[in-house]
């Protein structure tokens, strides 16, 4: 399923993000930029140790990556040349700026991609696993944030792919995309 925005493609697919052939994949990271479970663990183990090494260097220079922000490393052994580590919010009931922080994690990732000359980028469903953000709500925020970035100033970014791990998650995102006016 796809939607054209300003000549750029927003696409939805089911699969494993570590296998995507795009310029950059996004990691659902933690503020410490450490390898954890979920998609983060999968990216670190598929990409190899260079990713954790680069993350440690960034953290030494800049400290923790705050929630809603993102940093970029190389892709190690992945097909993708770069990994953008985005820190989504932990769901705390919805009144702790979780919506804004989730939108920010997507926007900051897209801005980094633009600044680094990336034309294709793949996102997982940030915050909807271990961090517990309700997926329907997250899907609307993710897709609207991507659409508004592409409509405004996408630079070289010409494909943004959401990679959903399960058929159920894909369905939620398909419904959210269909509902977007």
* Tokens at 129, concatenated: 């696993």
- Count other C-beta atoms under 10 Å from residue 83's C-beta: 26
Positions that interact with ligand AR6 (CB under 6 A): 16-18, 28-30, 36-40, 42, 88, 124-131, 163, 165, 169
Q: Which is nearer to ligand AR6, 55 or 112 (CB)?
A: 55
Smallest gap, in angstroms, from Cβ of residue 94 to ligand AR6? 15
* Cβ atoms of residues 143 and 107 within 8 Å: no
* Cβ atoms of residues 52 and 58 within 8 Å: no
Smallest gap, in angstroms, from Cβ of residue 38 to ligand AR6? 2
Q: Which is nearer to ligand AR6, 40 or 121 (CB)?
A: 40
Contacts of 102 (CB under 8 A, 6+ apart): 68, 88, 89, 126, 127, 133, 138, 141, 142
Q: Which is nearer to ligand AR6, 48 or 117 (CB)?
A: 48
Smallest gap, in angstroms, from Cβ of residue 6 to ligand AR6? 26
Q: Which is nearer to ligand AR6, 30 or 73 (CB)?
A: 30
């Amino acid at each position: 399923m796809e939607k054209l925005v300003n000549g750029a493609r927003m696409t939805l697919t089911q699969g494993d993000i570590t296998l995507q052939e795009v310029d950059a994949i996004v990691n659902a990271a933690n503020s410490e930029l450490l390898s954890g479970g979920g998609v983060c663990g999968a990216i670190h183990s598929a990409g190899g140790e260079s990713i954790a090494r680069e993350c440690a260097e960034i953290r030494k220079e800049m400290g923790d990556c705050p929630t809603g922000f993102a940093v970029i490393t190389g892709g190690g052994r992945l097909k993708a040349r770069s990994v953008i580590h985005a820190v989504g919010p932990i769901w705390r009931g919805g009144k702790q700026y979780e919506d804004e922080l989730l939108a920010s994690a997507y926007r900051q990732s897209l801005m980094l991609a633009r600044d680094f000359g990336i034309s294709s980028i793949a996102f997982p469903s940030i915050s909807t696993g271990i961090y517990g953000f309700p997926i329907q709500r997250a899907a609307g925020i993710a897709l609207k944030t991507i659409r508004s970035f592409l409509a405004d100033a996408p630079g070289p970014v010409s494909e943004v792919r959401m990679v959903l791990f399960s058929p159920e998650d894909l369905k939620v995102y398909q419904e959210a995309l269909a509902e977007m006016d």
